[in-house]
Amino acid sequence: MPDEPLVKHIFTADPSAHVFKGKIFVYPSHDRKTDIKDNDNGDQYDMNDYHVLSLESIGGPVTDHGVALKAEDIPWVSKQLWAPDAASKNGKYYLFFPARDKEGIFRIGVAVSSAPEGPFKPEPEPIAGSYSIDPASFVDEDGKAYLYFGGVWGGQLQCWQTGKFVKEAYSTMEAQTGPALLPRVAQLSEDMLSFQGDISELAILDADGTSLRSDDHDRRFFEAAWMHKRNGKYYFSYSTGDTHFLAYATGDSPLGPFTYQGRILDPVQGWTTHHSIVEFQGKWYLFYHDTSLSGKNHLRSVKMREIFYNEDGDQSLVEASVAEASTRRISTSAYFSTPATPPRLKHTLRTNNYHELFNPTNNDKYHRRQPTAKMLIPKADRKKIHEYLFREGVLVAKKDYDAPKHNDIDTKNLYVVKACQSLTSRGYVKTQFSWQYYYYTLTPEGLDYLREWLHLPAEIVPATHIKQQRSHAPPRGMMGGEGERERKPFGGRGGRGGDRDRGDREGGYRRRDAGEGKEGAPSGEFAPSFRGGFGRGRGAPPS
């Protein structure tokens, strides 16, 4: 079951699963093939309708009920029907969905049907006061219904910090310091068509009661909100986005606050993931997606796997894991357990190209049950990576674990990524992200560490450090300069990121462009070169 997509005749993603009328109904987004180049803007995410899937038994046939709603039938929508969700109340079924309005701003709409499979009739306007993406509905045992939503970067959540849409805030993506942006929650009206009361932030706190930080990309909220409840405890789960984890937090109220607990799922193949959790016939299941069927980020497939609870005391999620001989990159199963009795697990994760050990420990910097990933990189290969990083001071690697060789270093691309992840975890390297690449910058602490590791004299420093010593001016590119290489403008085509005029950053999808000026994104064929200037290899402002 974990290795097989629910359906293969269409591409589906962002699954929201619910049990209606004794069946599991899955409400996914519908990826489709396109000739739009795969790029940092997400232009290739060109979804324009929704299908509804259902299954009567686990492992049994899956029914595609066909198109339940089309963009052309929604008066206020311009494009991009992203991750939806559904709810049942008052004998009716409600489909909540995000899309761009005529001004390119994400709003959340609702459509109604008398049947869980649709077709759904949309309301003529989006929900008043709604914004951003990834709506997740939750109807509590007392009949009150809530809608959770929000997504940073391309999801525009950063534009709504004042309560009004601030277009200029889009380019910040998210702050580099301070508290992380938080998901939003609002109670729904009795008819499920509007908000009842104000929209509020949903607090996600550390174990000591402090807010998660914006630079804590392994734990902070990014998108893909989901709420479920078991034995009186509320579980809020979400995606960390650019680090590709599914994380969760627990609380005693649907309105929070929630305390971070750990991970449900480690990175799968493809850019991030989106999930739902549902109980069916006495068991619990996690629905998610990956790109193992297509190998393309914009053509995803929904999958599912069983998750488990440990009944000793209060329930909480722990990441954990199963060692499966698999040709797909699926790294964990989800387990529910008590904080007092974390499992002592040590398993080998097998994928098509590598073995990775997960060793749960109580000494993790952020969370005592979070596993530490270690990889056995041959010393000769590690030395090549360290020598290159020390010499250049900067390094770029493609987000492709299957690439046989790194572009600049004579070793596997996977070794480069894993070595730099290890250095990042110890503060020796600073990591930034884009759609297709990791960007690594050596820190002063890393400089000292690598010099000692390589047994080099103190007077030897990386080329980038020499340049910084010659001038106190910001590196070229930091203030929007073009750098030394030829820059190419990109098209204004709107995809999963939207239309983009010259210098307008609103259209960028889920991009991390800290410190950059009004630059655009590279084309899908762009292979970056990262040579001693902040922002190099990240594209250029439109000319």
Instruction: DSSP letter for 154, please.
Output: G
Residue the block writes with tokens 């929201």: 16
Q: Specify whether the CB–CB gap between 489 and 504 falls below 8 A.
A: no
Instruction: Name the phi and psi angles at 201, rounded to 5.
Output: -80, 145
- Judge contact between 69 and 119, C-beta under 8 A: yes
DSSP 94-145: EEEEEEEETTS-EEEEEEEESSTT---EEPSSPPTT--SS--EEEE-TTS-E
501, HSE (Cβ side, Cα atoms, 13 Å): 3
Active site residues: 14, 223
Nearest residue to 449 (alpha-carbon basis) of 469, 474, 419, 405: 419
- The distance of Cα 108 from the centroid of its chain, to the nearest Å, equals 19
Eight-class DSSP state of 212:
P
Separation CA 17–CA 275 (nearest Å)? 9
Q: Could you tell me which residues come within 8 angstroms of residue 289 by beta carbon, excluding any fewer than 6 positions away?
A: 12, 13, 14, 15, 28, 268, 270, 273, 274, 300, 301, 302, 303
Evaluate whether 77 touches 105 at the Cβ level (below 8 Å): no
d(CA 10, CA 1): 18
- Candidates 495, 492, 526, 499; CA nearest to 32 is 495
Whether the CB-CB separation of 90 and 111 falls below 8 Å is answered with no
- Residue 78 backbone phi and psi in degrees, to 5: -100, -40
Characterize the bridge pairing of strands 437-442 and 429-433: antiparallel
- What is the spatial distance between Cα 168 and Cα 170, in angstroms, rounded to a whole number? 5
| 68 Cβ neighbours under 8 A, 6+ residues apart | 49, 50, 51, 52, 95, 113, 117, 118, 119, 120
Tokens for 498? 């939207």
Do 144 and 132 form a contact (C-beta atoms < 8 A)? no
User: Residue 39 and residue 55: Cα distance in Å, rounded?
Assistant: 35
Do 352 and 402 touch, CB atoms closer than 8 A?
Answer: yes
497 token code pair: 């990121």
What are the structure tokens assigned to 483, written together? Answer: 């750098």
Between CA 159 and CA 329 the distance in angstroms is 34
